[in-house]
Structure 1
């Protein structure tokens, strides 16, 4: 069963207390704790990530600012498939889908990419949240592409890659070759929703909203957030519920 809502649901008191307790214990935001409570396996993965050394964190954040492919790889590692309520964050090719979305954004709207020195500064902090804030405009533009016609999206991907493949920028040329090979040989349809869930989770966190997979109480019933709706700016415009 699916449904939609235009306002953030108010969770029951026990759930809110549990989320706040976990957030305090791990030193993470409310939305991250909400996501962890929804799936024990993901909580284990997150706990393991929290044990990383500072060097490992910086290595991850350096990857996270490397658009288009590095950030795609970083986000897929950070948001693994959810086992408890699915399919969420799923799809074997979601890293490729994210890379293609970023390729379109960089090609069509290069002004959204932060300056290289700003990306480098954020990466050296070793904090994923700092990188997320720096890349927020790019992430949102990538997410909004998924609200448009899918056939036109793949045409835009192909156009961006066609420009990059013969280009002088080796990094973009290599990315175009890698993505183009997959675009022509692999079905991506089963991974598009997983990519959307990942971008929703990244974008909703600064607003302390509910990411896909969060369990919420609406009119006395427990529902699962399956998606977040966005405008070009501002907080979530609404949620999809399952």
Structure 2
């Protein structure tokens, strides 16, 4: 999904997102399972919040996203921190030309769920595999089947902020375990008037077993599967599932 119109206030709308938990989780996984390298790619980086946090933690970070508007915000954020982070407008299904390769590739904040077919997910995994160093890690998180079916489907969310408000309606999508998010944003302009933006976001998830099978097809070894930032097997009511996959089997 290419976010339009509201990239400049996206961070405000996502102000409660636990970005620090993502950084800590990624860092701990790289320390425990990685090859010791620090060169990482933040795929679907959005406004660069996690990329900047990873840079602060000592990683050599590159960011990639489909949205030019989001990348513009990410670049400005990095500059304000005094960081030089390369950001590229790229599709995670078609990412080539990186040299040297990466020690870790991250797909955070359910960005992978915007790929609606198995072929598209396979393509993203294939590109990640080709861009990883030996013993490199692919780490990603997705919405759980439980969240798609029991929390999103048929739900309405709303928030009235001082500068931006939204109404968010969720409907079952055309694919199994998929939802369509109908989003209406009202963003305050400098003259005090509000501009309206309407967007449709489509997301789909798969079962843990399906993700494992797709990873195996591309040559990955699944190292661990976690639930909701916790290093334990996913629970039936977990909302977010994390996968750690290695480019080859890694001895613990």
TM-score (ref. length: structure 1): 0.25
Normalized per residue, the structure richer in strand is: 2
TM-score (norm 2): 0.24
